Amino acid sequence: MIDPNDAVNYILKNAPVYAKARAERIYLEEFRKSKKAILFRESPEKTVAEREQWAYAHPEYQALLKGIREAVEIEEKLRWDMVAAQARIEIWRSQEATNRNVDKMFK
């Protein structure tokens, strides 16, 4: 039996966690541009292409990309958990409507 209150409580409890995960992911994606610019400026290379290549290959940039990957994974897990909770509520609604129809048939 599905308890819609459990699903709603899950959503309410995890909404701030999801919001924080989404904010972290967006921040990291935006910071990636700044990090590239910082590394580009620090590069010892002469040409623009060489500086860009140096920045992209830099361990700090690579670490940032891994951070983005982890942030996306956390956000997506939370998002799909929320979708599942919403689906449980919809299933419960459908079951309740079916039960009302069955009750009407036997009255």
Task: Give 24-72 pLDDT, tens digit per residue.
Answer: 999 999 999 999 999 999 999 999 999 999 999 999 999 999 999 999 9
- pLDDT of amino acid 23: 98
pLDDT of residue 101: 85
**Model confidence at 9, in pLDDT bands (50, 70, 90)?**
very high
What is the pLDDT at residue 29? 97
Report the candidate in 97, 91, 79, 88 with the shortest Cα–Cα distance to residue 9. 88
Q: What percent of the chain has pLDDT over 70?
A: 100
Query: Is residue 52 classed exposed, middle or buried when 0-12, 13-18 and 19+ CB atoms within 10 A define those classes?
Result: middle
Structure pTM? 0.80
